[in-house]
Structure 1
Amino acid sequence: MIQLNKIHHIAIICSNYEISKKFYTEILGFKIVSEVFRKERDSYKLDLSLNDTYCIELFSFPNPPQRVSQPEACGLRHLAFEVNDIEQTRNYLISKNINCESIRIDEFTEKNFFFIADPDDLPIEFYEK
């Protein structure tokens, strides 16, 4: 059997690099590890970390096709982040003009969670520790 150690990173292609860069860094608080413009691809690659752990590669490409979010399609369903205080997290995002779903309770774990969408409508879940 193959041995996987951990998830290394998640790659996200955005439609508007500056808007997504601001969302992931200024609103969600990811730190920039490196930022490279790849002239031959007319594309940015932004490496982001959370709590000093490298985890997201944010890419821009000219005219990427739009992602299907609704109805839910096969493939990556959403990103989920663990938080200590679900209400505080939701209130913070609302203060940043982010549309947040209502807090729900996971019927199996009885933990609180809610969803938002990133600038390209990628579903993001916040799940209480």
Structure 2
Amino acid sequence: MEIKSLHHVAIIASDYERSKEFYTQVLGMQIMQEIYRADRQSYKLDLAINGQYLIELFSFPAPPARPSRPEATGLRHIAFAVDDIVKSVAYLSSKKIESEPIRIDEFTGKKFTFFSDPDNLPIEIYEG
């Protein structure tokens, strides 16, 4: 098997409209398509960054909570590349989104930090 690239990350939101607003209005992702699947009582929202399909955002009736921190087994976080981390953190702050202090990757020397989506999913931004 030869993997060519990451195709997408799927996220189930506890409050679909709140998460849809966060990913589109705060993070600036573009909506590719939105489908309501009546048989599942579920929305599926395909989101892109710079035209690249990246995230499937789902709603389901009463999804169970999943442990995330500290260091629970499973998907640890999603990460996005940014050109200027200080500017990105200031932007998040202007939207009342707290981020952790900026750190330096000990292996690459690059700056990074974490913040959370509306369901406390850890999101990393990485300068580079």
Question: So what's the TM-score if we normalise by structure 2?
Answer: 0.98
CA displacement, residues 10-52 of structure 1 (integer Å, 9 cap, x when unaligned): 1000100000000000000000000011111010000000000
> Unpaired segments of 5 or more residues in structure 1?
none
Moved over 2 A (4+): none
> Unpaired segments of 5 or more residues in structure 2?
none
1:13 maps to a residue whose letter is I
* Correspondence for 1:95: 94
2:18 maps to a residue whose letter is I
Instruction: Tell me how far apart the structure 2 counterparts of residues 3 and 100 of structure 1 sit (CA, whole Å).
Output: 36
Instruction: Tell me how far apart the structure 2 counterparts of residues 81 and 18 of structure 1 sit (CA, whole Å).
Output: 22
Instruction: Tell me how far apart the structure 1 counterparts of residues 58 and 16 of structure 2 sit (CA, whole Å).
Output: 8
Matched residues, number: 128
Question: So what's the TM-score if we normalise by structure 1?
Answer: 0.97
Residue 116 (str. 1) matches residue 115 (str. 2): yes
Find the residue that maps to 1:19 and give its secondary structure.
Answer: helix
Cα shift at 1:69 = 1.4
Residues 67 and 120 in structure 1, CA contact (< 8 A), matched pair in contact too = no
2:100 maps to a residue whose letter is E
1:1-40 alignment to 2 at 5 Å? 2-40=1-39
CA RMSD of aligned residues (A): 0.6
* Correspondence for 2:53: 54
Instruction: Tell me how far apart the structure 2 counterparts of residues 82 and 20 of structure 1 sit (CA, whole Å).
Output: 20
Instruction: Tell me how far apart the structure 2 counterparts of residues 45 and 116 of structure 1 sit (CA, whole Å).
Output: 24
Instruction: Tell me how far apart the structure 2 counterparts of residues 82 and 61 of structure 1 sit (CA, whole Å).
Output: 29
Cα shift at 1:75 = 0.8
* Correspondence for 1:84: 83
